[in-house]
Amino acid sequence: MNLNENALIVLKKRYQRKDSKGRTIETPEELFERVADSIAKADEVFGEKPAAVEKTRKKFLTLMTSMAFLPNSPTLMNAGSTLGQLAACFVLPIEDSMESIFETLKQTALIHKSGGGTGFSFSRIRPANDVVHSTAGISSGPLSFMSVFDVATETVKQGGTRRGANMGILRVDHPDIEAFTKSKNDLKRYNNFNISVAVTDEFMEACENDSQYSLVNPRTGKVEKRLKAREVFEMIAHSAWLSGEPGVIFIDRINRDNPTPELGEIESTNPCGEQPLLPLESCTLGSINLSKITVKGKIDFNKLKKAIHTAVHFLDNVIEVNKYPLEQIKEKSRATRKIGLGVMGFADMLISMGIAYDSDEAVKTAEEVMSFVDTESKTASAALAKKRGNFPAYKMSIHDNAKKPDMRNAATTTIAPTGTISIIAGVSSGIEPLFAVAHSRHVLDGRKLFEINPQFVKATKKAGIYSDDLVNKVATLGSVQNIAEVPGDLKAIFKTSHDIAPQWHIKMQAAFQKYTDNAVSKTVNCPPETSREDVENIYLSAYKAGCKGVTIYRYGSRETQVLNIGTEETDESRVAPRARPVRTKGMTERISTGCGKLYVTVNFDEKGMCEVFAQMGKTGGCASSQIEAAGRLISLALRSGVNIDSILKQLIGIRCPSPAWQSQKMVLSCPDAIAQVLKNIANSDYVENVPVMGVCPECGGAVSHQEGCLVCHICGYSKCS
C-alpha cells in the first residue's frame, strides 16, 4: 500500500487495534486483512463454498488496499472485533412521552458507545408551555429535551476513537420553531448536535407567495397560530449566516423518494444530513475513490463498473455480519437493507482531467459519473437479489408491482462525508472542492512540514515555476488565486472551497443529487462578505435545483462576536476599567510552552479577577514583551467587566510554530497557555472542544467546514463523528 504520513497517523490513532495498554498491535495491512476476512465470511450464510469465499476476500482486500474503495469508519474500526458494530448512521424515534424520550436516550447511549451517530426529529414533542394533563403542569418543550440528549452525548465516550454526534430536527410548522431556529446562535449550546429545520413544500410556497402558514401543536393537531412564512425563512437564513446553523432539509421531497412508504414516514436524517432513514433504521456507507479510475485524463468506466459491483457486494455483506446495538434496529435495517455507496476524490479527478470545479463541464462530468454509479449499483443489487433474494420489505416498495425489478437493497446510493477515510486514501473529501492546495503542519519538536497537493507539484514543475518559495506562499495562503507566478490555467483548476462561488456549490450538489437515492453531504462555503439575502437565495436555489437539503458556512462566522444590531454607542455607555486596589490576592501557575516554562500570575480584588502577569523562565526578547502586552490587555479587559469566556475565546487556539504538551494536552502558544491557566483558575465551563480560530482541538491543525460538518485534514478529527 502507498500511504502518506497523514494516512499512517490517522490509521494508527483511530483504526488499528490496540492492546489493553494502548499499544498498537496490528499493521495497516493487517487492518485491511481483518476487515476483508470478516466481511467476506457473510458469503457463507448464502451457501458459498470456501473457494468462492476466499475469492471474495481477495477482491475485497484488493479493492481497499488499492484505495479504490473504503467503507465507513465503524466498519474499518470494528469488523472482526468483539464489538462488531459496523454501521455509521442511525435514526431513532421520539414520541411525546417521558417513556419514549428516555427510552430513546438509552438507545442513543448504546449506539454512541458502539461508534454510531444518531438523528432525531423532536417534532412530535408538544411545545413549551403546553399542558401536561398527568401532572397539571406545563411542558418544557423539545429544546429542553435536546439539552438532555446533548449532555448525555458529552458523557458517553465511544471507545476512545469516535465522539457521539447527533442531528436534531424540528419541523418548520412546530410551534417552537422560532426558538429552535435561534438555539445555536449561542455557540455554547448543543455542541454535540447539528440542527436542521424540516421545511415543507407548503412553507416554501408560502415564502414565494409572501403569505402565512400554520403552526400546529403535535399533541392536539390544532393550529396554534399563523406566521408569515417569509419572516421565518429570513430568521432561518439569519441564524445560518451568524453560525452556520440550522441547515434545512426539504422533508416532502425526501418522502416522495421514500422507497418503502408503507413502512412509515421519514422524519429525520443522520448527523450530516445525507442519509434520511425511517425510525430505528441504520445504513451502511462506503465511497469509491474517483481519483483511482481516471487514466490519462479520461474516466475508465470499465474499472469503475468493477469497483461498483464489488463495493455493493461488500456493503450488502456488512448488513449480514453487523452486530447491531439493538434488536429492533437489526430487524428494521435488514427489512430494507439500505446501503449508501458514494464517492470521494471528485476534485482530484477533475484536476487530473484538466476541468475547473466551477464550470459547466464539471457539472456535466458529475452527472455522468454519478448516473453511472447509480445505474451500476442497482444492476449489482439486482444481481445479488437473484442469488440472495429481494430485501424483505420489497413488496412495500414504491415501484409498480407489474414492472418492479429485483432489488437486494431498497436504496443503493448516498454521498456521505469522507473526512477521515479520504485522508487515508490521500484524496479530496467526497464531492467537495480542494480544502487547500497546500498547508503547513507543526510537529512536536517545532518543525514545520508543508503538505502540498501532488498534482499541483507535478503541474508547476511541468510549467517550470516550482520552487520552495512557491510552496511557502501556497502553504501560507492555502489558495493560489493571489499568487502572481501561478498561470491562469492552473488557477482555474486548483481552486479551493473558498475560491468557489456559492452558486457552483449548489450546482454541483444538485448534479449529484439527481442520481442519488438518499441525499448529498455538502457544505456551501461562503465568503465573509456574504449577506443574509445571499443565504436566502442559496436556500431558494437549492430547493429549486432539486436538492434534499442544504448547509451553508460563511467563512469566519463562528469565530466572530455576534453584534447587537440597532444599538449605538454613546460617550456615557463606554466602559472604563475599575481602579486597581493597593492590595490584591492571587496565585501563580507554571505551564509548559514550546518556548519554555511560562509562569502565569492571576490576582483578584473584591469583584473577582482583576489582573494577569505572565513571565517566561528565560527573560528578554520580543517574546517576553509580547507576553507582557498580553497580560496588560487581559488585565484591562478584566477590570472593564469583560466576561472571562469572551477573553478565553480570543486566546484559546492561537498557534505558534512550537506547540508543547502538558498533562496530555497540547499547548499551542503562550497566549493559549495563559488562556488555559485562566480557564482552570476561573473554573470556566467554556467549551474547548469546539475548534476556535480554525484550529483542531486534538492536533492543532487546520479545520474546515465541509460535508455538513467540521473536520481536520491532518488527524481526521470530525465534530460529527
Please give the single-letter amino acid code of residue 578.
R
**Type and span of the H or E element at 167:** strand 166-171
Q: What are 169's strand-pairing partners?
A: 121, 196
How many whole angstroms separate alpha carbon 543 and alpha carbon 562? 28
> CA 446: distance to chain centroid?
29
Residue 224 in contact with residue 127, Cβ under 8 Å? yes
Nearest to 74 by CA among 88, 60, 89: 88
Annotated active-site positions, please? 270, 272, 274
Grouping H, G, I as helix, E, B as strand and the rest as coil, residue 665 is strand
For strand 193-199 and strand 166-171, is the pairing parallel, antiparallel, or unpaired? parallel
C-alpha angle with apex 720: 279 to 239, nearest 5 degrees? 90
How many whole angstroms separate alpha carbon 306 and alpha carbon 377? 10
Rounded (10°) angle between helices 621-639 and 670-682: 30
Q: Which residues of 37-68 are buried (b: 16+ CB within 10 A; e: fewer)?
A: bbbbbbbeeeebeeeebeebbebbbebbbebb
Grouping H, G, I as helix, E, B as strand and the rest as coil, residue 138 is strand
Q: Give burial (CB, 10 Å; 0-12/13-18/19+) of 400.
A: exposed
Dihedral of alpha carbons 395, 398, 404, 406, sign: negative
Q: Which CA distances in Å does 662 have to 23, 650, 667, 671, 692?
A: 21, 21, 7, 15, 20
Please give the single-letter amino acid code of residue 117.
G
Q: Report DSSP state, residue 485.
A: T
List all residues 6 or more positions away from 524 whose beta carbon is below 8 Å from its beta carbon. Answer: 502, 505, 506, 509, 538, 542, 550, 551, 552, 553
How many whole angstroms separate alpha carbon 372 and alpha carbon 613? 64
